[in-house]
Amino acid sequence: MASEDNENFENWSFEQAYSELDSVLVQLESGDVPLEDAVILYERGRRLAAHCQALLDQAELRISRLHDDGSITPHEA
């Protein structure tokens, strides 16, 4: 598990990171993880959550820019 702790999520898609975050949460919620592994999983989950949030922020900014430029309105698809 320690090798996963150093993993870089920078190139992961939102879907990849979110799926892995979900897996981390399932493991933590099971209560069957030793304390040290739980701490490592928690840290991994925090990094994954931050990556997902950054991707969502980027998407929101892109949509906001499109809307501000008049290229799209909220009811157009």
Read off the CATH number of the domain in which 51 is found.
1.10.287
Q: Indicate whether 2 pLDDT > 60.
A: no
Does 22 map to a domain? Answer: yes
Does 7 map to a domain? Answer: no
pLDDT in tens, 3-22: 444 478 889 999 999 999 99
Cα atoms in the 13 Å half-sphere on the side-chain side of 33: 17
Determine the structural domain holding residue 53 and report its residue range.
12-68
Whole-structure pTM value: 0.75
Domain count along the chain: 1
Q: For residue 57, what is the DSSP state?
A: H
Does 47 map to a domain? Answer: yes
Cα 35 to its chain centre, rounded Å, is 23
* 62 CB neighbour count, 10 Å cutoff: 10
